[in-house]
Every structure is written in C-alpha cells, then in structure tokens.
Chains A and B, each alone.
Chain A
Amino acid sequence: MATEITFSDEIANLLYASEGNPLNTCIQCGTCAGTCPAVEYMDHTPRVLIGMIGANLRDEVLLSNTYWSCSSCYHCTVRCPAGIDITGLMYGLKRYSMWKDQHKEGLIGPSFSESFIKMIMRTGRSFEPVLAPTYVTKYGSREMFQEARTATALFFKGRMPLLPKRIKRLDNFRQMVRRIIPLGGPS
C-alpha cells in the first residue's frame, strides 16, 4: 500500500524545481515577517505560515489570505537567511489553492487571476480598462464613484483606449497554448 503523502510533502513537491532551499530549513527567525510590506493585512505572517505547512495544517493554510496578500515584491526572498524562496512559495500556494479550488471567502485574487488568463486567451494582450474596474464594485459605492471619476479623467487624458488590441497570430498563439495544456484548452 502506498504511503499517504502529507500536506507538507505536497507543498515540497510543488517547489521541487525552485532554486530556494527546502521549507524545512526555515529557522523561524521572522525576517520575512519583518520585511513584508503587506504583513499587516495577512491572516498569518509568512513565518507562521511556513510553520503551519510543517505541521500539516492543510485546511488552515487553504483558508489563509496570506499568499493572496503577497504582491510578489521578493523582499522576503532576498533577505531570508535560510535561502528559502518565500515569494516562490506564495506563488506555489496560489497555484495549489487554484487547483483545489479552495480559498478564503471574499478574496478577489483568485478570480482576478482567472479572468486575466481568459482575457489573454481571447486577445493575446491584457487590457487594463476592463481588468481593474470589474472588481471595484467589491469596495463599496464610495470607492466605485471615485474609480469612475478617475477612469473618466484618464480617458480624457488619452490613457484609456476603448478597444483592446489583438495580436495578429492569435490562432498560432492558441495552438501553442494547447500544446502545453492539452485538456480543456481555450476555444
């Protein structure tokens, strides 16, 4: 009978190609937490989250907003005395949570990433005028009003085109993606 793979093994496998050191080399010093510019908005500091992974607290990790609050600034990664690629870990956890389709309620990150990808498959390029405003409704009416005013100002400054650009070889582009992700490819 095959031995059961623990959650911390799963995360380790997720990072096997990473150039950083394995998570179990973490010395729990907290340099990452002290460096992170978004730490106040995280349910768990990166240090605590790494401890939770080691303790196989799968459900708690999946319900944490920590990795979805990471802005990929790599400040923790370059300062980690144990040489762990903590930003790489945050990316890994985002992918894990997308695959498992499990994340904390009310987060914008997962659906934003998904619609970003869908947009790229449609046109080959991302289009800011559509991407950002879609989510501003979640921030309440005052923020929406402000965003609409900003968008109008940007439009009159020539910074908000009305139509997205499409790449020319879109068919080749989609075929290229199908060679990487053969199942349920984009149509």
Chain B
Amino acid sequence: MTKYAYYPGCSLESLAVSYNLSAVAAARELGLELVELDDWNCCGATSYFHIDELFAHTLVARNIAIAEKEGLDFVAPCSGCFKNAYFTNEHLKEDPDLADHINYALAADDLSLNGSTKVRHLLDVFIEDVGYEGIKEKVTTPLDGLRVAPYYGCQLVRPRKNGEEIENPQFFEGLISAIGADPVDYSSKMRCCGGSLIVTNRKAALDMVYRLLLDASNRDTDVIATICPMCNVNLEVYQKQVNREYNTNFDIPAMYFTQLIGLALGIAPGRLGIGKELVSMAPSLLA
C-alpha cells in the first residue's frame, strides 16, 4: 500500500462526510493508504487571504510541514485546500525570506518547512498513481450506461499550476470512462459553482448553480460527478432553493468521484456515504 499524508479539510468532517468515507474506502481498494495528517488545522479557504497574506500562508504552511515531517505526499480531496497548499508551498520555495519568516512562526509548534513535499489533489493521485488501466482492472460492477457529467469547477485547474490544459481538460472524462460510465459533454464543466458566495451573496450563487444544473440537465445527465466539497454542497444542498427561485424541477444528484469509483469497485453503498444526500442518487443508479 502506498501511503499519503491525507488532509481531509474541515468540510469533510461535516457536510461532506460522504466524501471522506468514500475517499478512504475507494483508495484502500486501489492499494492507496490515506493516512490522516496529525492535528491538521483549517486551510482558511478564501477567508485568510481576505485578511493578511502572511497569516494565510503560515496557517497553510503548518499543514504542509506536518506532511513533510512524515515524508509523504500531501493529498487534499478539496480543490480549495489543494489550491491554497499548492501555492503556499510554491511561494515558500521561491521566496527564502518568506520561508524564514514562516519557519520562525512554525517553530512555535516544533515544525519547519523546506519545500520537499509534493502537494496533490486526490483526483491526481487516482489518475497518476493508479491510472485508468489500473482502475479498470479492479472494476467489478461497471456503471454501464450511466451518464456522468464531470464537473471540474475552479481551483483544481485554476490558476494553472504547471502548464496543463485548463480550457478543456479531459482527464476527468477519462476516469469516468474507466469505470464504464459515459462522460457527458457539456460546456459548463469549468464554470464556477459560486463557492462561498452561497453565504455572502446568495442570489449570485444560486444563479451560478442554476446555470450549471440547466446545462447538465439539457445534456441528459444522470449524475454530476464532483471533486470538491464546496461544489458538491452548492449543487446538491441548494438544488431545492434553485428550484424554488427559478421554478424548475431539477432532480440531479451530485456525487463525489470517489463514490462513483467505489460503486464500480463493488464497495457497499453505505461505506461510501451513499444515503446521506438530499437529492437521492438511487433512481439514476438503479435505472
């Protein structure tokens, strides 16, 4: 079993508990052990950067430093956590003065950072370390005929990390094909779900969710696959509010990619947190 320093992030302890369950279970089935980072703290989402950059980088750096101590890759299932950790790690490598300053702060918790840790998103670990073929080999119940819309959202791909394709990437489609489902081609896959505007500007966020759901539903989507707790919550928990606001009848489940992989690997739905959603995924999966 390959080990990783797993940083679940705060959402995976509450609203996105299904993501946590399914991530750990699906990873194990694929020979990956997600070892939860000891005593991790909140990455700050976007809020730390609204207050002070140095403060924000320090709080993010603490988590990376814990992973560095373990000598394992830092893996986040949340796009926001991933983006924060990735760029803090990069900035500290490029800016020794900043690194010195932050290491002085980290010393208060017996930690230090030298930039040797690789920061990765969980989806990248599945695709790069197991691979489409590796996943295909372990599929016992392919999701034949299920139309799955890959929802990339924002911060996994933006800002660009390392020269990768960001306007129309295909790696998520590849993963969906590997488990036997049909990836839906729709134009909104890179558009924002509204993120925390769901709290701070409800109207704007509901509008953004509405457009995503509309596009997906026009393309006969059975399930939207997500890679971030924030995206999933906005698309799923607020779907009712969208229906009320826009007089629509959307009934499209949003599932974490780890739940879909888990099902294809034959893991029992309960162990993947299936049943905890507000928009039930049962009809499309049983159809």
The residues of A that contact B166 with a CB separation of less than 8 Å are 78
- Which of A78, A91, A125 contacts B160, CB < 8 Å? A78
- In the complex, whether A73 has a CB less than 8 A from a CB of chain B is yes
State the CA gap A72–B200 with chains docked (Å). 13
List of B residues within 8 angstroms of A129 by Cβ: 14
Chain B contacts for A38, CB-based, 8 A: 192, 194, 197, 201, 204, 208
Closest to A115 in B: B47
Q: Who on chain A is nearest to B230 by CB?
A: A71
Interface residue? A124 (CB, 8 A): yes
- A167 near B40 (CB under 8 angstroms)? yes
Contacts of B194 in A (CB 8 A): 37-38, 71
Chain B residues closer than 8 Å to A108, beta-carbon distance: 199-201
Q: A128-B11, A132-B199, A165-B13 are in contact. Are A150 and B278 (CB under 8 A)?
A: yes
B128 contacts chain A at the CB level, 8 A cutoff:
no
List A128-153 residues whose CB lies under 8 Å from chain B. Answer: 128-129, 131-132, 135, 139, 143, 146, 150, 153
Instruction: State which of B47, B59, B109 has its C-beta within 8 Å of the C-beta of A169.
Output: B109
The B interface is mostly helix, strand or loop, or mixed, namely helix
Of the 9-residue stretches A26-34, A51-59, A174-182, which lies at the interface with chain B? A174-182
In whole angstroms, what is the CA distance A45 to B14 when docked?
A: 35
A167 with B41: CB separation less than 8 A: yes
CB-nearest residue of chain B to A38: B204
B108 at interface by CB-CB < 8 Å = yes
Would you give the 0/1 interface string for B247-268, flagging 1 where the beta carbon is closer than 8 Å to chain A?
0000000000000000000000
Q: How many A-B residue pairs have CB under 8 A?
A: 190
- Asked if A172 is an interface residue, CB under 8 A from chain B, the answer is yes
Which of the candidate stretches B113-121, B129-137, B175-183, B237-245 sits at the interface with the other chain? Answer: B237-245
Residues of A contacting B47 in the complex (Cβ-Cβ under 8 angstroms): 112-113, 116-117
Q: Which among B28-36, B50-58, B67-75 touches the partner chain?
A: B50-58
Known: A175-B108, A177-B55. A150 touches B237 (CB 8 A): yes
Min C-beta distance of A135 to chain B, whole Å: 6
* One of B138-146, B151-159, B216-224 contacting the partner: B151-159
Query: Would A128 and B15 count as touching, CB distance under 8 A?
Result: yes
Known contacts A127-B14, A154-B237, A159-B276; is-contact A98 B41 (Cβ 8 Å): no
Contact: B200 with A109, CB < 8 Å? yes
B17 within 8 A of A: yes
- Shortest CB-to-CB span from B244 to chain A, Å, is 7
Q: Is B125 an interface residue (CB 8 A)?
A: no
Residues of B within 8 A of A150 (CB): 237, 240-241, 278
Residues from chain B with a CB closer than 8 A to the CB of A63 are none
Cα A91 to Cα B47 in complex, Å, equals 9
Q: Which chain B positions have C-beta within 8 A of A157?
A: 275-278
User: What chain B residues lie within 8 Å of A154 (beta carbons)?
Assistant: 15, 237, 278
Q: Which of B13, B54, B196, B207 contacts A161 (CB 8 A)?
A: B13
A160 adjacent to chain B (CB < 8 Å) = yes
Contact with B195, one of A71, A114, A135 (Cβ below 8 angstroms)? A71
How far is it, in angstroms, between the C-alpha of A95 and the C-alpha of B53 when the chains are bound?
9
Convert A63-89 into 0s and 1s, putting 1 for each residue whose CB lies closer than 8 angstroms to a CB of B: 000001101111101100000010100
Which of B53, B108, B160 counts the most chain A CB atoms within 10 A? B108
- Known contacts: A176-B62, A176-B105. The answer to whether A37 contacts B191 by CB under 8 A is yes
A-B contacts, 24 of them at CB < 8 A, read A38-B208, A40-B204, A41-B204, A71-B154, A72-B46, A78-B166, A91-B50, A95-B52, A98-B51, A108-B200, A112-B199, A117-B47, A127-B10, A135-B199, A154-B15, A165-B13, A173-B109, A175-B108, A176-B62, A178-B108, A180-B52, A180-B54, A180-B55, A180-B101
Interface positions of A (Cβ within 8 A of B): 17, 37-38, 40-41, 68-69, 71-75, 77-78, 85, 87, 91, 94-95, 98, 107-110, 112-114, 116-117, 120, 124-129, 131-132, 135, 139, 143, 146, 150, 153-154, 157-161, 165, 167-169, 172-173, 175-181
Beyond A72-B46, A74-B159, A116-B45: 5 further Cβ-contacts under 8 Å? Answer: A17-B95, A37-B208, A85-B159, A128-B14, A179-B108
